[in-house]
Amino acid sequence: MCLMPQTENAEPTSGAELSERDARILDFERQWWKYAGAKNDGIREQFSMSATRYYQVLNSIIDKPEALAHDPLLVKRLQRLRAERMRARSARRLEQHHTPDHA
């Protein structure tokens, strides 16, 4: 049996708590601007993952009830920002499919 180090464990330690990694990611997201350098550099340094992977993980974390219980203001803000980005992306796609020649 292969055991992962506790700091990298993505499984919750109990039904009502975030994993240590997930809590660290939320804490980083709340305070990333305090780190020197670009956010992507901080992600690589703190979590040993690409920015793309980090955002995939973050998006799954903010959908968990445990994340909302851990930091409701941050999670609601991140959910709102994600929804705004999705709406903007959808609007851009719609604009690309409508051409002025078909008026």
Kindly report, residue by residue over 33-85, the tens digit of the pLDDT.
877 778 999 999 999 999 999 999 999 999 999 999 999 999 999 999 999 99
In a domain, 35, yes or no: yes
Flag whether 1 is in a domain. no
pLDDT at 16: 67
42 lies in some domain: yes
pTM of structure = 0.72
pLDDT in tens, 1-22: 433 333 444 544 445 689 999 9
Write a three-state SS string for the chain: CCCCCHHHCCCCCCCCCCCHHHHHHHHHHHHHHHCCCCHHHHHHHHHCCCHHHHHHHHHHHCCCHHHHHHCHHHHHHHHHHHHHHHHHHHHHHHHHHCCHHHC
Residue 3 placed within a domain: no
User: How many domains, the chain?
Assistant: 1
Evaluate whether residue 61 is within a structural domain: yes
Average pLDDT, the chain: 83
Domain annotation covers residue 58: yes
Within a domain: 98:
no
